[in-house]
Amino acid sequence: MHLVTAEEMRRLDRITIERLGIPAVALMENAGRAIAEEIIAFCNHRDGDGAAGDACQGTGAARYSSGPGHAGARAAGAAREEAAVPGAGTAESFGAVRTAAPKLLISGDAALMAGRAEDEHWLVLVGKGNNGGDGLVAARHLSEAGIAVSLLYAVSPESLTGEAAQQRDAAAAMGLPAAVYGGGRPDFAGYSGILDALLGTGAAGAPRGAYAELIAAANRSGKPVASADIPSGLNADTGETHEPCIQAALTVCLAFLKRGLLQYPGAGHAGRIVVRSIGIPSGLAREEGLSAYWLTPAVLEDVLGVDVSRRRAPDGHKGTYGHVLIAAGSLRMSGAGLIAARASLRTGCGLATWAVPGKLLPLLVGAAPELMLADAGGEADGTWNAAAAEEVLKLAGKKDVLAVGPGIGRFGDDKAWLQTIWEGADCPLVVDADALNILAECDYGTWQGRRTPVILTPHPGEMARLVGVSTKEVQRDRIGLALSYARERGVILVLKGAHTVIASPDGRLVVNTTGHPGMATGGSGDCLTGIIAGLLAQGLSGFQAAVFGVYLHGLAGERAALLRGDPVSVIASDIIEAL
């Protein structure tokens, strides 16, 4: 599924209206109706209303009696009623016992059928822009479904223009009760829900004046809030939340998923996200060259060309699936190398060799029978040194991928060590952990260019060192930073953290949402490094391996949590076993 910025959304909207000739008011009508349908489904689900609730879950029409008990539906004037046509043959006339088969089915808009409409009274907070316009359309459809609706304008309705003004007039013509916020602390206790149609992709900066007051009041009310397009107060591009920002139970995102809904803290304000089509052709995004995606199996297969089935050739052998070399571990952190190496095997590479400082090697014999160990030289105390880089290059000569960094620690002339490996390794290179901290101290843009991909896998702190900013600054706009860094440096960047971002030098970007906070545990990153290396060894491209690796890592973490019964108790070895 595509991810868009506010500006990209406006561009796609403009193309739809100007090039395809689909009127803006039609898009807004579709948007408002979609919002109303999702609010009705929310109400039906919340009220546990069986018949109508079921009916509204899907797009199919409801099948139910239109007898008493469905006031809402009657009010909706849209119902599917089964009626026998008078005079048609009945069971008795043919002597067989048969119920009268209905001859006439009148289906209706099940998604606009509210089970207990009479119990609902929704307040629509209306901004002055098109987000407000969407809310006004939704208000009409909610009213049609028999739900009581009241409008509260943030600013004078006279200040609305264009399609929003049209919707203002339509709502007034329908007699929807309306008021203008006049300051103070409004009391929303009498409502069953609030539709936040204050600010959408046209917002700039922190909510001001009445908008801020109404957002705060909605959050204080304790009522469920549904947000039109994005929670008001959220930065649609970065996921930053201004003060105040709506805390939504449901966000009905229009046309395309906004980037800010998938990055924290914004992702924590959206509640359940539903992306609804409003008539903008989904193919436009690809035609316009948009290349940011929320990672789904379809994106893996259709956009990245990854064979998620990971089928194996019947005549495959160890050589078919590649050989991983991991240069990792040191006296105090040998486990990191073991985790990375084992993860690469679990990911399906044919062979894995773990290169360690010679002093450690005897201590590691048998640590993992499937692994091969290699003496990479190093110091007598089991630490790495610059000369060991040449040993690593010799070992890498016949390997399909080299991963460096897990548990290597910092050592004298470690920058020379990394530069030798960076410039000398012909196979794809995965750089993680302390190798990233070393890289951060190097002007590696001056190093000899590489012909095969480099994948960097920093967590936010390591990224902060790579870029020379604070971790807070890294987290402010993860997607924007990852994209610019990958492009400028010509590397594939995996910016780890909640909803990991993977960016490619060619501008492609993917946000992954598999995994859980229990994976924030020592060795989890080493495991990811091994997974990515294991996929590279099997012939995936750099970006494919980085994206699929992050995806699999998260899925394995989820599976490990199920196996452990609790995400909290998951450790890196569990993730490996769950691959």
Picked from ligand LP7C6HRI, K ion, none, the partner binding residue 134 (CB below 5 to 8 A depending on kind) is: ligand LP7C6HRI
Among candidate residues 429, 493, 490, the one with its CA nearest the CA of residue 459? 493
- Shortest distance in whole angstroms from residue 274 CB to ligand LP7C6HRI: 14
Q: Is the Cβ of residue 163 or residue 462 nearer to ligand LP7C6HRI in the bound state?
A: 163
Q: Is the Cβ of residue 261 or residue 374 nearer to K ion in the bound state?
A: 261
Q: Which of 52, 139, 228, 361 binds K ion (CB under 5 A)?
A: 228
- Shortest distance in whole angstroms from residue 124 CB to K ion: 11
| Six-digit token string for 85 | 């046509």
Picked from K ion, ligand LP7C6HRI, none, the partner binding residue 358 (CB below 5 to 8 A depending on kind) is: none
DSSP string covering 124-182: EEE-SSHHHHHHHHHHHHHHHTT-EEEEEESS-GGG--HHHHHHHHHHHHTT--EEE--
Q: Is the Cβ of residue 155 or residue 520 nearer to K ion in the bound state?
A: 155
Alpha-carbon distance values, 163 to 30, 35, 252 (Å): 13, 17, 19
Q: Is the Cβ of residue 113 or residue 142 nearer to K ion in the bound state?
A: 142
- Residue positions forming the annotated binding site for AMP: 496-500, 525
Q: Which of 227, 334, 437, 544 binds K ion (CB under 5 A)?
A: 227
Over its C-alpha atoms, the chain yields an Rg (Å, rounded) of 29
Runs of H (alpha helix) within 199-282 = 209-221
Among candidate residues 424, 391, 389, 423, the one with its CA nearest the CA of residue 405? 389
Q: Is the Cβ of residue 244 or residue 407 nearer to ligand LP7C6HRI in the bound state?
A: 244
Count the residues of the shown chain that bind K ion, applying the rule CB under 5 A. Answer: 5
CA 145: distance to chain centroid? 32
Picked from ligand LP7C6HRI, K ion, none, the partner binding residue 196 (CB below 5 to 8 A depending on kind) is: K ion
Q: Is the Cβ of residue 245 or residue 418 nearer to ligand LP7C6HRI in the bound state?
A: 245
Q: Is the Cβ of residue 258 or residue 342 nearer to ligand LP7C6HRI in the bound state?
A: 258
- Residue positions forming the annotated binding site for K(+): 131, 196, 232
Among candidate residues 157, 249, 154, 250, the one with its CA nearest the CA of residue 203? 154
- Shortest distance in whole angstroms from residue 226 CB to K ion: 9
* Residues found near ligand LP7C6HRI in the complex (CB under 6 A): 9-10, 13, 27-28, 31, 127-132, 134, 199-208, 211, 228-229, 254-255, 278
Picked from ligand LP7C6HRI, K ion, none, the partner binding residue 34 (CB below 5 to 8 A depending on kind) is: none
- Shortest distance in whole angstroms from residue 475 CB to ligand LP7C6HRI: 21
Query: Which residue type is seen at 553?
Result: H
Percent composition of the chain: helix, strand, coil (DSSP 3-state, to 5): 45, 15, 40
DSSP string covering 426-466: -S-EEE-THHHHHHHTS-GGGSPP-SS-EEE---HHHHHHH
Q: Is the Cβ of residue 211 or residue 384 nearer to ligand LP7C6HRI in the bound state?
A: 211
Runs of H (alpha helix) within 377-523 = 387-396, 414-424, 434-440, 460-467, 471-476, 478-489
Picked from ligand LP7C6HRI, K ion, none, the partner binding residue 232 (CB below 5 to 8 A depending on kind) is: K ion
3-state secondary structure of 494: strand
Q: Which residues in 229-248 contact K ion (CB under 5 A)?
A: 232
- Residue positions forming the annotated binding site: 130-134, 196, 200-206, 211, 229, 232, 336, 407, 459, 496-500, 525-526
State the SS3 of 306-339: CCCCCCCCCCCCHHHHCEEEEECCCCCCHHHHHH
Interface stretch with K ion, choices 25-33, 223-231, 520-528, 548-556 (CB under 5 A): 223-231
Q: Is the Cβ of residue 109 or residue 134 nearer to K ion in the bound state?
A: 134
Q: Is the Cβ of residue 9 or residue 454 nearer to K ion in the bound state?
A: 9
d(CA 179, CA 454): 59
- Shortest distance in whole angstroms from residue 286 CB to K ion: 27
- Shortest distance in whole angstroms from residue 251 CB to K ion: 8
- Shortest distance in whole angstroms from residue 13 CB to ligand LP7C6HRI: 3
Picked from ligand LP7C6HRI, K ion, none, the partner binding residue 227 (CB below 5 to 8 A depending on kind) is: K ion
Alpha-carbon distance values, 398 to 252, 353, 388, 426 (Å): 52, 11, 17, 10
Picked from K ion, ligand LP7C6HRI, none, the partner binding residue 461 (CB below 5 to 8 A depending on kind) is: none
d(CA 40, CA 101): 31
Alpha-carbon distance values, 517 to 520, 521, 554, 557 (Å): 6, 9, 10, 9
Give all strands of the β-sheet with 121-126 in edge-to-edge order: 178-180, 148-153, 121-126, 193-197, 225-228, 250-254, 272-276
Binding mask 112-151 for K ion (x = CB under 5 A): -------------------x--------------------
501-503 vs 509-511, strand pairing mode: antiparallel
Among candidate residues 492, 422, 411, 407, the one with its CA nearest the CA of residue 457? 492
Q: Is residue 196 near K ion by the rule CB under 5 A?
A: yes
Binding-site ranges for K ion (CB under 5 A): 131, 196, 227-228, 232
